[in-house]
Amino acid sequence: MKCPKCDRTLESVVINHNKVDRCSLCGGIWFDKDELKNVKDERDHNLSWLDFDLWSDESRLKPSGTFIDCPRDGKSLFKIKYGPSDVMVDICLDCHGVWLDRDELDKILKELREKINKETLPEYLKDLGEEIKDLIFEPGNSKEELRNIAIIMKLIEYRLAAQHPKISEITSALPD
């Protein structure tokens, strides 16, 4: 495969146990379908419950501007904001691959960490409700949903302790 930015042959590299393709010249990375999610989840397990369907809303897609082509199938890539971050990623509507420019993976992870650190208790409770709803109505992913519920509950515990130290003090004194 060729780099969509500088036309150099992409080399295979391993990021968090996932084989991806990277350009040694510009530093861009090509993620085949689901590889970006896997890398994100393995890089920071607390982020695994933050899943984004980049292909669900075509009204949010913007032409790339530089008209770069997918290294996998040669189709035009489109730009879209990655979840709640400000990072614009290039995606292929056909193969569901994602192109990240140099340092965009680190920017995405940083912004996602900031998002979960800024969430309020009501927002975490809403997220928890969504995960429980997914567990009930989408039973095919029950193991993943249970893990996500455990992560969110741990984050709620941390937020509760930070915002209400007296409650944390009282609960820590209770017997196991």
Is the Cα torsion angle 110, 111, 112, 117 positive or negative in sign?
positive
Distance CA 18, CA 132 (A): 29
Distance CA 108, CA 118 (A): 15
Distance CA 35, CA 17 (A): 10
Q: DSSP alpha helices (H): ranges in 24-141?
A: 35-43, 104-118, 121-137
Low-confidence ranges of the chain (pLDDT < 70): 53, 55-66
Residues 65-90: tens digit of each pLDDT:
667 899 999 998 888 888 777 888 99
pLDDT on residue 58 = 66
pLDDT on residue 61 = 65
pLDDT on residue 73 = 93
Residue type, 104: E
Give residue limits of the domains in the chain.
Answer: 11-117, 121-173
Residue type, 50: L
